[in-house]
Structure 1
Amino acid sequence: MQEAFLHYLWQFKKFQLLDLKTTQGQHITVINSGQHNRLSGPDFFAAQLKIDNQLWAGNVEIHIKSSDWYVHHHEKDSAYQNVILHVVWEHDADVFRKDNTALATLELKHYIDKKLLDNYYHLFSKKQTWINCENEFGDTPEFLLQNWLERLYVERLERKSVVIIDLLEQSKNNWEAVLFIMLAKNFGLNINGDAFFSMAQSLDFSVVRKHQSKPNELEALFLGQSGLLNTKSSEPYELHLIELYHYLKHKYQLNNSHVPRPEFFKLRPPNFPTIRLSQLAILYTKNDTLFSRILEIKKLEHFYELFQIGCSEFWKTHFTFETTSKTSHKVLTKNFINLLIINTVVPLKFTYNKKQGIDEISELLELMTKIPAENNTITKKFYRLKTLPNSANTSQALLQLKTQYCNPNKCLQCAVGSRLIIK
């Protein structure tokens, strides 16, 4: 038995409401179960109850056992003095407030339908499955699931907006600077995302602005701050970048001591950090006001045009400084651009609209439906369980579902899990 299940039962009144009685035999009428509190303090605020003929307004506290009141030392905490009902699964001790008055207690296990309880135990007893509802997920009604996935995607955007808002505060509301940091992170993908993010944060965006017209200087900045320039090199282009970087480092008093060196291991050559940082430099060389352009663009094909960039001349014949390769322009692929739109463009536009009081979520949802679903271990497994729309908003919603609900066993807060319990 989990306390979260008791919260669920109380919040949604999934128990027998007629002839409820306290452990002392008083009749209980639940008028309002209250507002669920997920922070410190009583579990439900502003509940309204009638106990016998007395109307009460106050808080409700929920525990597995009555004695947990004392285990958590609530009798010493003034925040719990306004508790009007103690809801427990098992009543194993009488509870008294700080002023020694008895606390009305409801032992909930006597009022729960056996089928609901069996469904609960069945859902949470599957320890060897990928998700608790693995065998039932495919039978989820389409209407319920599609509405839930849409909510999950918006929820994921809200989570991403927290990072963006924090960066905005650090940059004094410089949207162009925040875009640069977020783009850098996503140019690094999963393996080098954190390293690129750290590199971008180590540069004041005004420095990037001043050198946007000179791609070699931007490359020197990005590669130098990332620790990818070898001072013992004999390669002429690398020596040129080292000279540029030393000049820029001294001029702007740059510090890269806390920037992790990007990885090459386990990466395909097109994703090597040298190539991705060169492409990032070219993108900024070709676009003075990138954020403004992103705000203006509505159609997917125009985003593809915006991000249709390659690398500098040297990298057309190299993946690393040490070895040459077959000539290739190394332009960003559609799949890579899709990831930039999913992880940078849409979250930024969502956050900008939110800050400006603009309600254009439907436009962003429409854009995401035109981008194919991401192909990763999580999405693959969900698509094996059920036929779902092949769109990026669906795959993003599935990532939110797995990481924020399935992994931490929050089935009671999930539309799919709730349905399985009450069916």
Structure 2
Amino acid sequence: MLFTENFLHYIWKFKLFNHDSLQTTSGEELQILSAGLHNHDSGPDFHNARIRIGETTWAGNVEIHVSSSDWRKHKHQDDAAYHNVILHVVYHDDEPLHQPSGQKVATLILKNRISGDLYARYHQLVYGNQQVIPCEGSIKNIKSITLHNWLTRVLVERLQKKSLAIIQALQYNRGNWEETFYQQLAISFGFKVNALPFELLAKALPQNLLGKHKNSSLQIEALIFGQAGFLADEFTDTYPNILKAEYLFLQKKYGLVPIEKHLWKFMRLRPQNFPTIRLAQFAALIMQSNHLLSKVLETDDVTALRKLFTVTHVNEYWENHYRFDKEAKPSPKNMGQASVNLLLLNTLAVFLFSYGHHQQLQPYVNRSLQLLENLPVEQNHIINDFEDLGIKINSAFESQALLELRNSYCNFKKCLQCGVGNQILNIT
């Protein structure tokens, strides 16, 4: 048989082997009372197991290997953590084992006790020649409630991972949630390609400094474009020259140091997504929004949240420009609904989850999930692959969960740790 140790972990954890006339290799009668708790850290594979050997009940750790000799190969004989193992579970018994005290390690052999049908399903999942995901031929047959429950768990795992960056930023900002939200919002305006320079800009231009100039759109725009490094050039147009003069005054007043202009990327971007346009939209959002995080925390209606992030008054200069001094065909530069949805998806939903989880305020965690349920499915090749497999995807809640499922489970063939894989393997 071709399998990994993880398969034996799965078999032991769910007791998916023939229990008739269990015996140790020494011929003693064996009864499994509890498989124990699966240990994913260092040390024996299962803790707090309970077994009965003969007339004696034992409580302790269980170690699992494909072959008995793996114990020696892994140098467990030199590790005190393994000196109290009460049972060694193996597929092949190719070497007798003894503890340093000389006592023989009780061993159970699983060979000939594992269903051929179960192994065939496992082998097809992990070693099959699938093109998209390991269970591509079976996932559409999984019960909807089973799939939904697993996707909910996977989505929470995804949000927990994404929350780590927010908590790190919170620590950097000494517990200031407002500043942290402002920085995360700026990062999202970069839409991956320019996320880093937007983050550096937000750190080089604190929110409280912008707050001092909220009554002047000119000064807000000057600070943002100046700190972004776009006002160091010589210009022909009046608008950038006015911005430059205003910025030089504010730069001297506050001792500001701009980030490097070369960090911003224009290549392979549609003009509508040029960093200059995103910066103009960001400036407009700053102007129209007071105490934005407070409003977000107070608002649980998706339509109202969209209005908070919908930019409607970008400076008129950008109506016929994508760069300074380069006139272009007139076109609206306000943020479209798709861009707003991405902000809600990538920033707001994650921030609400992180805030609720960190502050132990479950309603905000729930609102994060509800927000995703009310956002449309994002389109990408991974989502298209799942749809081609017959999976009906109704919201960003499901699409985000499927992205995590594909990237953290399917791509690594972690079917034994997956609720869908478990359901397939347990089908009788």
Give the TM-score normalised by the residue count of structure 1.
0.92
CA shift at 1:341, angstroms? 1.0
Q: Which residue of 2 aligns with 1:8?
A: 10
Q: Which residue of 1 aligns with 2:282?
A: 280
Q: Which residue of 2 aligns with 1:312?
A: 315
Q: Which residue of 2 aligns with 1:340?
A: 343
Change (3 A) 1:9 1:284: same
Match of 1:125 among 124, 127, 137: 127
Distance in structure 2 (CA, Å) of the matches to 1:243 and 1:63: 72
Distance in structure 2 (CA, Å) of the matches to 1:27 and 1:219: 80
Q: Which residue of 2 aligns with 1:355?
A: 358
Give the aligned residue type for 1:34. G
CA shift at 1:22, angstroms? 2.1
Distance in structure 2 (CA, Å) of the matches to 1:84 and 1:208: 65
CA shift at 1:288, angstroms? 2.2
Match of 2:384 among 371, 380, 383: 380
Distance in structure 2 (CA, Å) of the matches to 1:279 and 1:359: 33
Distance in structure 1 (CA, Å) of the matches to 2:390 and 2:291: 43
Q: Deviations over 1:148-200 (max 9, x none)?
A: 22222222222222222222222122111111121112111132223323432
Aligned pair count reads 423
Q: Which residue of 2 aligns with 1:327?
A: 330
Q: Which residue of 2 aligns with 1:393?
A: 397
Distance in structure 2 (CA, Å) of the matches to 1:260 and 1:81: 59
CA shift at 1:252, angstroms? 4.7
Q: Which residue of 1 aligns with 2:406?
A: 402
Percent of aligned positions that are identical? 39
Change (3 A) 1:421 1:274: same
Match of 2:102 among 97, 100, 103: 100
CA shift at 1:283, angstroms? 0.9
CA shift at 1:242, angstroms? 4.2
Q: Which residue of 2 aligns with 1:267?
A: 269
2:290 match: secondary structure: coil
Q: Which residue of 1 aligns with 2:209?
A: 207
Contact 2:189 2:198 in 1 (8 A): yes
Change (3 A) 1:84 1:394: same
2:111 match: secondary structure: helix
Give the TM-score normalised by the residue count of structure 2.
0.91
Aligned residue runs from structure 1 range 131-150, under 5 A: 131-150=133-152
Q: Which residue of 1 aligns with 2:375?
A: 371
Q: Deviations over 1:259-291 (max 9, x none)?
A: 971211221111111111221121112222110
Change (3 A) 1:198 1:75: farther
Say whether residues 1:303 and 2:302 are aligned partners: no
Give the aligned residue type for 1:10. W
CA shift at 1:379, angstroms? 0.8
CA shift at 1:246, angstroms? 4.9
Q: Deviations over 1:211-239 (max 9, x none)?
A: 44444444444444444445355444334
Match of 2:30 among 19, 28, 32: 28
Contact 1:198 1:260 in 2 (8 A): no
Distance in structure 2 (CA, Å) of the matches to 1:18 and 1:252: 80
CA shift at 1:411, angstroms? 0.9
Distance in structure 2 (CA, Å) of the matches to 1:95 and 1:225: 68
Change (3 A) 1:330 1:48: same
CA shift at 1:397, angstroms? 0.9
- Choose 45-54 or 403-412, whichever is displaced more: 45-54
Contact 1:316 1:327 in 2 (8 A): yes
Distance in structure 1 (CA, Å) of the matches to 2:56 and 2:33: 12
Say whether residues 1:412 and 2:416 are aligned partners: yes
Distance in structure 2 (CA, Å) of the matches to 1:107 and 1:224: 71
Distance in structure 2 (CA, Å) of the matches to 1:247 and 1:52: 87
Q: Which residue of 1 aligns with 2:161?
A: 159
CA shift at 1:243, angstroms? 4.6
Change (3 A) 1:324 1:7: same
Give the aligned residue type for 1:378. I
Contact 1:373 1:390 in 2 (8 A): yes
Contact 2:230 2:261 in 1 (8 A): no
CA shift at 1:254, angstroms? 4.8
Contact 2:229 2:260 in 1 (8 A): no
Distance in structure 2 (CA, Å) of the matches to 1:143 and 1:63: 34
Contact 1:227 1:261 in 2 (8 A): no
Distance in structure 1 (CA, Å) of the matches to 2:412 and 2:321: 45
CA shift at 1:374, angstroms? 0.7
Change (3 A) 1:112 1:265: same
Change (3 A) 1:116 1:289: same
Give the aligned residue type for 1:409. K
Give the aligned residue type for 2:381. T
Contact 2:5 2:64 in 1 (8 A): yes
Unpaired segments of 5 or more residues in structure 1? none
Distance in structure 2 (CA, Å) of the matches to 1:344 and 1:274: 21
Give the aligned residue type for 2:13. Q
1:20 match: secondary structure: coil
